[in-house]
Amino acid sequence: MAQVMAIAPELQLVTFDGDMTLYADGQNFADDSPLTVLLIRLLRQGINVAIVTAAGYGTDAMRYEQRLSGLLRGFAKEELTPAQVARFYVLGGECNFLFRCRADYRLEFIDDTMYASSSLRSWTDTQVQQLLDVAEAELADCVRRLGINAQILRKPRAVGLVPHEELTREQLDECALSSQMALLRSQGAPKSEPCDVPIPFCAFNGGSDCWVDIGNKLIGVQILQEMIGSPPQATLHVGDQFLSTGNDFSTRAACCTCWIISPHETQGILTELDAILFQS
């Protein structure tokens, strides 16, 4: 809360995790969510709002619209102006697929040639797929070693272990940490951090599954900061995965952060922020 109070006067950008931050794990943004009005008030105050999520559906805007259906309908119901909705972004796959809200309250994909840093554009598809091959092999080995009943799911910029039974936090952490070490070794940097290798990545415990994504939320937040012109001291990230095996952890190097554990706590943070903003 102290960070919220300190950053409020200069705030330009607020980024949010999705699952367990804005809505329940694996669910969609509900029409009756109390967060809708609070997010709308941020947009009307001239503050940029972005959802930076591991959910990776490629360039398929409709999949993201489905997850955020209640929020987008809220924008339409409140008749937000084109300028206001243009301040709303969705960044999927940690940092790989960027969308912006249009005047008709639909999401529009923005090609990475319009925003990506030179380091992001330098990743070739061959390099990405080779790294995902290593991750896929390591997750398959985790299934074998730990006797897990799970499937390995491959996406263009990610690979995940999706269990058919409930796993313990320790099992999921083991999968994330084993994958992290395998990927660091494959890039010749076993003692480095996942952010400090030629192709940064995020191997994380998703709460009920384990995923390895190309890139991370540090890059995602920095992309948005560069686009909007928001410095670290004017940026706030809100999320629930700030342990070392969580995918919000890396954002601490880019901006101020708020560690919450539920959408209810997010509501509390935004309610306090709203009171401060409308006092000033």
Segment 241-269 shows an average pLDDT of 94
**Please, what is the Cα angle at 203 between 197 and 206, to 5 degrees?**
155
Q: Annotate 156-206 with DSSP letters as a single string.
A: TTEEEEEESS---HHHHHHHHHHHHHHHHHHTT-TTS-TTSSSS-EEEEE-
Q: Which residues participate in catalysis according to the annotation?
A: 17, 19
What do you get for the CA distance between the two ends of the chain, in Å? Answer: 17
Q: HSE of 92 in the Cβ direction (CA atoms, 13 Å)?
A: 25
- Does residue 190 have a pLDDT over 80? no
pLDDT at residue 280 in the model:
58
- Does residue 88 have a pLDDT over 70? yes
Of the chain, the percentage scoring pLDDT greater than 90 comes to 80
Residue 215 makes CB contacts below 8 A (sequence gap 6+) with 93, 94, 95, 96, 120, 157, 200, 201, 202
pLDDT at residue 118 in the model:
57
* Residue 22: closest CA among 57, 55, 60, 62: 55
Host H or E run for residue 280: none
pLDDT at residue 186 in the model:
93
Segment 109-129 shows an average pLDDT of 79
**Distance from C-alpha of 121 to C-alpha of 116, rounded to nearest angstrom:** 6
- Does residue 48 have a pLDDT over 90? yes
Which residue has tokens 């339409």? 76
Segment 196-216 shows an average pLDDT of 92
pLDDT at residue 254 in the model:
94
